[in-house]
Structure 1
């Protein structure tokens, strides 16, 4: 679902910046763009759940060889692939080899729009052995609760407040940002949160509160993005980004729902195998879906392929997912190479 959500973000936002803001098509695009914002937070929480699990034992050499190196290899490959793809498709190659080389160097110097996640994940993995020691210590639960609270106070709250026209906002932000404990002002907060929610039971009252806040805040954020965009005359997505309260509670509600309810479904052996196989393909789907989206767009299949965007976007999400899955299933059959690029 997190993988589908990532595709949903990029399908919903495909024409986010090039359509009339007062059109129903933009309103639908804004809705799908926002409603899928659980994806990134959920993915990081899944990583925290898996990598910080007490059953793991971390050896630094094995960590770098088996976990970090494959991700770094995939990042380098796809950075270069998308750089070459853009050079070919935008006509830079026709200007000569020197222009193409310059463009290539420019393209690979900065993460392609969806590939930012990989260096961020590598950063989390580098400090994972230290985090593992903290969360699995005798007072691990208390340390995690402390770090999650700090994440809310020093990252989520200031980021959210910054986008509201509050009186004395600049002074409030100065106070909030005077102290910035680096250990909890990045995606590490979601990483820790994923382990905490998967490892410890939360009360039913707190669980349902997270669900209610998740739904209310994400709908409010979508509405605020719409209203702000109409007033400013430019597309705004600030209210449901990953570090906002809406993003925090919406992502947490999805993670909790799957952990506490979907996990209770009794799958038969064949269904389990299919689910696990799909799970093994999601990394590759994430990497290649941007290519599939662009190819479909070039042949006229995108979020505006029909007049009803509310139907077009889910259809596009499905097509991108299915075609990406098919491509990854083929790549998986390539011996030795596939494990380094997907």
Structure 2
């Protein structure tokens, strides 16, 4: 198989976008900060919303056909690569949190943090809990995908979209609870399978314009939908940021297709390949760096005019985390920390 440069390019952009998203944290202060500050946070936060679905789609594209029938070998290789760094960083965040609260957690509290998440400003680690579940389910999905025909795969995606996006939207805006149970099709499994299916397609030329239009439409709906829903309720309303809202699905899927069609070429390969290899470590560590810059140095969206403050904080996080994670990764056992 030829080198899939579009995967490298897309994953690097998604990694940086997650950093920007978390730096643009002032968006939840709707009505409490100046309007221009809020809009800057909203636009930059909205742009980063494609990243998590795209991470899941990339994983589905790369992993769902790598299962060779060795169940325990597959699980050991995939889960250990994710779980050991996750465990180490969970402990790091618990220690960091105890510094600010002046409370040292006991073994029981650490175990609760590990099982429930959220210890020491580590709420972003929810993603790892989710991806571990998908990896554990991969052998089953791989067997099904190998046997299913196109109609069955399409039917799965339709049911997933209905259960994950349409039903919640109906409940959210009409108050009607749809009783038809599609919970088995809801969740990130849909993005996982979608990445596998969309990654195989050879797209026609007109798909480039369609994917670009989808990206712009999804992005715009997210930005203005956030404002109108928040303004209507007179409080922060995060519906348009949710990863299963139709606008985010459109945004993420279009971004995935656009990169596959248009950006399958090497850009600064020596740098981007290292950034790509460090993406998991950067994801694990970036919140710690954001918190330190904000709490200790007041470098955040209030430091300068909001756009400058957010982008400066994000740039510093990447500049700090990337070389640290890369250097650790090449040390003996360094992959236990960086993934």
TM category, shorter: 0.7 to 0.9
Q: Does 1:154 align with 2:163?
A: yes
Q: Does 1:294 align with 2:291?
A: yes
After TM superposition, list the pairs within 5 Å mapping 1:6-155 onto structure 2. Answer: 6-14=18-26, 16-17=28-29, 20-21=32-33, 23-53=35-65, 57-93=68-104, 104=110, 107-111=113-117, 112-137=122-147, 139-155=148-164
Is this contact kept in 2: 1:2–1:38, CA < 8 A?
yes
Two-structure CA RMSD over aligned residues (Å): 2.3
Residue deviations 1:32-72 (CA, integer Å, cap 9, x gap): 1111111001100000000013x652411211211112312
Following superposition, the deviation at residue 106 of structure 1 comes to 5.1
Q: Unmatched 5+ residue regions in structure 1?
A: 94-98
CA distance in 1, matches of 2:206, 2:168: 27
Is this contact kept in 2: 1:11–1:317, CA < 8 A?
yes
Cα–Cα, structure 1 residues 28 and 150, in superposed 2: closer, same or farther, change >3 Å?
A: same
Cα–Cα, structure 1 residues 13 and 260, in superposed 2: closer, same or farther, change >3 Å?
A: same
User: Which residue of 303, 309, 313 maps to 1:312?
Assistant: 309
Q: Which moved more, 1:110-119 or 1:215-224?
A: 215-224
TM-score by length of 2: 0.86
Name the count of aligned residue pairs: 322
Q: Does 1:179 align with 2:181?
A: yes
Following superposition, the deviation at residue 242 of structure 1 comes to 0.4
Is this contact kept in 1: 2:299–2:309, CA < 8 A?
no
TM-score by length of 1: 0.86
Q: Which moved more, 1:248-257 or 1:208-217?
A: 208-217
Following superposition, the deviation at residue 210 of structure 1 comes to 4.1
Cα–Cα, structure 1 residues 341 and 27, in superposed 2: closer, same or farther, change >3 Å?
A: same
Q: Which moved more, 1:107-116 or 1:3-12?
A: 107-116
Residue deviations 1:145-175 (CA, integer Å, cap 9, x gap): 22111111121222333433xxxx233xx23
CA distance in 2, matches of 1:295, 1:229: 30
Is this contact kept in 2: 1:8–1:36, CA < 8 A?
yes
Structure-2 residue corresponding to 1:324:
321
CA distance in 2, matches of 1:262, 1:192: 22
Q: Unmatched 5+ residue regions in structure 2?
A: 1-12
Is this contact kept in 2: 1:6–1:36, CA < 8 A?
yes
SS at match of 1:209: helix
Residue deviations 1:114-154 (CA, integer Å, cap 9, x gap): 101112111111111121122233x4433322211111112
Cα–Cα, structure 1 residues 226 and 156, in superposed 2: closer, same or farther, change >3 Å?
A: same
Is this contact kept in 1: 2:60–2:193, CA < 8 A?
yes
CA distance in 2, matches of 1:56, 1:272: 28
Cα–Cα, structure 1 residues 254 and 331, in superposed 2: closer, same or farther, change >3 Å?
A: same
Following superposition, the deviation at residue 105 of structure 1 comes to 5.1
Is this contact kept in 2: 1:135–1:141, CA < 8 A?
no
Residue deviations 1:296-330 (CA, integer Å, cap 9, x gap): 01211112111x21222222221111111022023
Q: Which moved more, 1:228-237 or 1:290-299?
A: 228-237
Structure-2 residue corresponding to 1:170:
175
Q: Does 1:4 align with 2:16?
A: yes
Cα–Cα, structure 1 residues 32 and 67, in superposed 2: closer, same or farther, change >3 Å?
A: same
CA distance in 2, matches of 1:181, 1:189: 12
Structure-2 residue corresponding to 1:96:
none
Structure-1 residue corresponding to 2:5:
none
CA distance in 1, matches of 2:143, 2:91: 36
Structure-2 residue corresponding to 1:216:
217
Q: Does 1:272 align with 2:273?
A: no
CA distance in 1, matches of 2:159, 2:204: 21
